[in-house]
Chains A and B, each alone.
Chain A
Amino acid sequence: MSKPWRSYRTGAFFDELMTDRGSPRVTPRRAINFFRGLSADELQARRSAAELAIKEMGISFTVHTEQDNIDRAWPYDMIPRIISAREWATLSRGLAQRTRALNCFIDDIYNQQRILIDDIVPADIVLESDNYKSQCEGFSPRFGAWAHICGSDLVRDHRGRFFVLEDNLRVPSGVSYMLENREISKRVVPELFRNYSILPVDDYPLKLYEMLAALSPRTAKRPNIVVLTPGIYNAAYFEHAFLAQGMGAELVEGTDLTVTDDDCVYMLTVDGSVRVDVIYRRIDEDFIDPEAFRADTVLGVPGLMRAWRSGKVAIANAPGAGVADDKVIYAFVPEMIRYYLKETPLLSNVPTYLCVREQDREYVLKNISKLVIKPANESGGYGIMVGPHSSPAQHRRYARLIESDPRNYIAQPTLCLSTGPTLIENTVQPRHLDLRPFILQSKDVWVTPGGLTRVALKKGSLVVNSSQGGGSKDTWVVEGKP
């Protein structure tokens, strides 16, 4: 064993690749042996190669600071996270099941509201939420699909059990980095690909195209699909361009589109106006149409909601889908699966205390130092307080926040997130990680093999978001005997 691995200890956590006795797990054994055979210098050389590849490929994300927008190189760790295909099959079925139920829920909420009438989910929680959009009432998009692209975050606890941490149904991002991580791995550790049968991920843009094309209101052989981006200064612009290119679709901004009196959406081209069939929007719904939502938006297209409601254009994700992207609603997903699908949930939720419930709130306030407190409506890891890592003053501050606005807070036990070996300077050390697979749904449901693994680079940290110093790993779902 080379020097960089000598101090590797998994501690109290479940490690993705190593057992607690310090030997490799069965599936990743050959990969671990390969990395253990590399000296510190060889690891460094490969890391430099990876950094160069990332720079050359121009893989970046934008970080907004008070002074400036910085284009940062994508952080990639060369030691992949490896999952066996057998284990993945269960997860994949569970994710598909979840997305189906979530779409049933959204469609129900904007139409019959059966689940509210039957009192499975409290009506006030749903209808008083900012995410409930009355502009969508009485409409049902094709296939009853609202959340066409869903990014669900999975974590593993200290016993290695998978849990769903949240479902991102608005404009989930990260899929391009999943694809690019694989490209970088092929350049940096090509030897490993000889020993494994790794499920490919690079057909994602094709699957995305097929999913979007199925939504087209016209029967043309090749519908006009556009990716609607807020523009170059958006943190995920790289991904918008990447996906448009991957699908052979147009990358448009709001100013490229117009809605005319016939309620159709047109894009302005050098040959004149061309009708658009499907819009993959990467703009938050509040900004897509100044006529229907925020009037001060300059990103959107006036009349877009009108066009959508009259069935002349499909929008993915559908406006209003965010109603299910709420950490309070999340707590009810297992119930939704039983209610709509009459199935047993295949994936577990993390136990969740809803501060809006009196009994839960009392428990949360009493145990605030042990719990993770999350605002119901933030993304990107903002506004979260990890009890055991916070000061008494912070505990008191969050207790006050909860008491003043209980609907907006949930609490979960602090999970001992699983770890994976990660190259930190000259040594390999365990770092906490999560996993974001992507689920597509229109006519059918499809789940990416694997997903984007995000890793907290700071020792002991649980924050994996790239905007807050997180890194990423290539994720392998491997077939066959180890």
Chain B
Amino acid sequence: MSMLSSVAERLYWMARYLERTEDTARLIKTYNHLIMDIPKGAEPPWDIMIDILDAQSMFRARFKVGSEQNVLKFLIADDKATCGIPFAARAMRENVRTTRDVLPEEAWELVNGLHLFVENEAARSSGRRHRHHFLSEVIGRCQMINGLIGASLPRDHAYGFIKLGRLIECTDMTTRVMDVAAGDIMNRAGRFGTIEPLLWGSLLQVLSAAGAYRREVGPIVEKAATLNFVLRSTEFPRSIKYCVRETRKELMRLKNHDFAIRATERLRRRLARLDVEQVTREELHYYVDNFQQQLNRLDAAIHATWFHGESA
């Protein structure tokens, strides 16, 4: 069964927004847990989340102070913030609304249900009392949608483009978290040394990687092992290495993949080039920045090859 280019594009973006919704919710949730364990004065600033989502200018246009309330309002209750949950949930729904004919029947109900839940609950969920329940529910619903797709969508083009969207969004988020969160921890350089394992542990939790890390590496959480795991675990599905490998596999199944495969190869080569033991804060930032540029080139290659076609 072939697939319309326009439908492929919407599925790709549906998957990106689905992943973004879940990742953002997990980021906020983890940070909330973390903050309660950290001695006053040692906690990272609330707007570190805005840094991770690369949304400082948009945030500053709306709020002067990067306070807890403002950051949470921005990410949970502001439907115009393109990095926030309501925007991503709605964008996901709009993309499914125009592709529901190629998805399992229940997909529309689940996606629509998530959008309605966010729309109804967001306003009262930025405060501490309802925040946890809201975020858990959002994450759970996203996982349900992914589960439905995984369990009942035939492994044809629809699945392929959804998978590509998810892998690329996941790579994007993992690198952002690595850059900003790891950077923050490394900036401390020995200050608050006792809470460092806690911070690295949170970084793993944001990526839903804590359990997998324990099994693969062990219970001791420290910088080099964490970076190495997030970057190069061969089995953990949110590690960058895993995402890049799976992306390559999906691309190989499509026709006319040369351009996109070349972009993927560049990503793969970069993966080997980080010395996790010796890396400094600046080197890490430079490394991630460069990696993200290559990732954007891959995204552009996918758009140019499969979404616009010759006549568009």
Binding site for B on A (CB under 8 A): 55-58, 232, 241, 244-245, 249-253, 255-256, 258, 267-272, 274
CB distance from B77 to the nearest CB of A (A): 21
Query: A residues within 8 A CB of B8?
Result: 269-270
Q: Would B100 and A241 count as touching, CB distance under 8 A?
A: yes
Interface segment out of the listed B101-109, B134-142, B227-235: B101-109
Q: Which residue of A lies closest to B2 (CB)?
A: A269
Contact with A along B1-45 (1 / 0, CB 8 A): 011111110000000000000000000000000000000000000
Query: B residues within 8 A CB of A255?
Result: 6, 312
CB distance from A209 to the nearest CB of B (A): 13
CB distance from B312 to the nearest CB of A (A): 8
A97 vs B96: C-alpha distance when bound (angstroms): 40
A234 vs B60: C-alpha distance when bound (angstroms): 38
Query: B residues within 8 A CB of A250?
Result: 4, 7, 101
CB distance from B104 to the nearest CB of A (A): 10
A55 contact from B97, B100, B102, B116, Cβ within 8 A: B116
Q: Would B116 and A270 count as touching, CB distance under 8 A?
A: no
Q: Would A241 and B3 count as touching, CB distance under 8 A?
A: no
- 30 A-B pairs whose Cβ atoms sit less than 8 Å apart in the complex: A55-B116, A56-B112, A56-B113, A57-B108, A57-B112, A58-B109, A58-B112, A232-B98, A245-B102, A251-B98, A251-B101, A252-B4, A252-B6, A253-B6, A255-B312, A256-B4, A256-B5, A256-B6, A267-B2, A267-B4, A268-B5, A268-B312, A269-B2, A269-B4, A269-B5, A270-B3, A270-B254, A270-B255, A270-B306, A271-B2
Q: Would A232 and B97 count as touching, CB distance under 8 A?
A: yes
Query: A residues within 8 A CB of B3?
Result: 269-271
Q: Which residue of A lies closest to B307 (CB)?
A: A270
Query: A residues within 8 A CB of B190?
Result: none
Interface residues of B in 290-312 (CB under 8 A from A): 306, 309, 311-312
A56 vs B112: C-alpha distance when bound (angstroms): 7
Query: A residues within 8 A CB of B255?
Result: 270-272
Binding site for A on B (CB under 8 A): 2-8, 94, 97-98, 100-102, 105, 108-109, 112-113, 116, 157, 161, 254-255, 306, 309, 311-312
Most buried by A among B2, B94, B113, B306: B2
Query: B residues within 8 A CB of A56?
Result: 109, 112-113, 116
Given contacts A269-B8, A271-B3, 8 further A-B contacts (CB under 8 A): A56-B116, A57-B112, A58-B97, A241-B97, A250-B101, A255-B6, A269-B5, A271-B157
A253 vs B94: C-alpha distance when bound (angstroms): 16
CB distance from A444 to the nearest CB of B (A): 26
Do most interface residues of chain A lie in helix, strand or loop, or is the interface mixed? mixed
CB distance from A248 to the nearest CB of B (A): 8
Q: Would B309 and A268 count as touching, CB distance under 8 A?
A: yes
Query: B residues within 8 A CB of A241?
Result: 97-98, 100-101
Query: B residues within 8 A CB of A252?
Result: 4, 6
Q: Would B112 and A270 count as touching, CB distance under 8 A?
A: no
Query: A residues within 8 A CB of B101?
Result: 241, 244-245, 249-251
Query: B residues within 8 A CB of A251?
Result: 7, 98, 101
CB distance from A55 to the nearest CB of B (A): 7
Q: Would B6 and A258 count as touching, CB distance under 8 A?
A: no
A58 vs B98: C-alpha distance when bound (angstroms): 13
CB distance from B173 to the nearest CB of A (A): 25
A58 vs B255: C-alpha distance when bound (angstroms): 35
A232 vs B100: C-alpha distance when bound (angstroms): 12
B100 contact from A245, A253, A271, A272, Cβ within 8 A: A245
CB distance from B291 to the nearest CB of A (A): 27
CB distance from B302 to the nearest CB of A (A): 10
CB distance from A343 to the nearest CB of B (A): 40
Tally of contacts, chain A with chain B, CB under 8 A: 69
Query: B residues within 8 A CB of A232?
Result: 94, 97-98
CB distance from B308 to the nearest CB of A (A): 9
A272 vs B255: C-alpha distance when bound (angstroms): 9
**A58-B108, A251-B101 as given contacts; A270 in contact with B6, CB under 8 Å:** no
Query: B residues within 8 A CB of A256?
Result: 4-6
**A55-B116, A56-B113, A255-B6 as given contacts; A270 in contact with B98, CB under 8 Å:** no
CB distance from A236 to the nearest CB of B (A): 14
A267 vs B3: C-alpha distance when bound (angstroms): 9
Query: B residues within 8 A CB of A271?
Result: 2-3, 157, 255
Query: A residues within 8 A CB of B97?
Result: 58, 232, 241
CB distance from A138 to the nearest CB of B (A): 32
Q: Which residue of A lies closest to B6 (CB)?
A: A256
CB distance from B148 to the nearest CB of A (A): 15
A350 vs B191: C-alpha distance when bound (angstroms): 89
A272 vs B305: C-alpha distance when bound (angstroms): 10
A394 vs B229: C-alpha distance when bound (angstroms): 78
Q: Would B2 and A274 count as touching, CB distance under 8 A?
A: yes
CB distance from A118 to the nearest CB of B (A): 46
A270 contact from B105, B157, B312, Cβ within 8 A: B157
CB distance from A53 to the nearest CB of B (A): 10
A282 vs B284: C-alpha distance when bound (angstroms): 55
Q: Which residue of A lies closest to B108 (CB)?
A: A58
Q: Would A268 and B98 count as touching, CB distance under 8 A?
A: no
Q: Which residue of A lies closest to B310 (CB)?
A: A268
Query: A residues within 8 A CB of B109?
Result: 56-58
Query: A residues within 8 A CB of B157?
Result: 270-271
A256 vs B308: C-alpha distance when bound (angstroms): 10
A274 vs B3: C-alpha distance when bound (angstroms): 9
Q: Which residue of B lies closest to A266 (CB)?
A: B311
Query: A residues within 8 A CB of B112?
Result: 56-58
Query: A residues within 8 A CB of B161?
Result: 270
CB distance from A187 to the nearest CB of B (A): 12
CB distance from B89 to the nearest CB of A (A): 14
Most buried by B among A244, A255, A269, A274: A269
Q: Which residue of B lies closest to A258 (CB)?
A: B311
A349 vs B36: C-alpha distance when bound (angstroms): 76
A256 vs B311: C-alpha distance when bound (angstroms): 10
Q: Would B100 and A270 count as touching, CB distance under 8 A?
A: no
CB distance from B304 to the nearest CB of A (A): 13
CB distance from A184 to the nearest CB of B (A): 13
Most buried by A among B5, B8, B112: B5
Q: Which residue of A lies closest to B161 (CB)?
A: A270
* 5 A-B pairs with least C-beta separation: A245-B101, A244-B101, A269-B2, A58-B112, A268-B309
A256 vs B6: C-alpha distance when bound (angstroms): 7
Query: A residues within 8 A CB of B312?
Result: 255, 268
Query: A residues within 8 A CB of B4?
Result: 250, 252, 256, 267-270
A250 vs B98: C-alpha distance when bound (angstroms): 11
Query: B residues within 8 A CB of A272?
Result: 255
A258 vs B309: C-alpha distance when bound (angstroms): 12
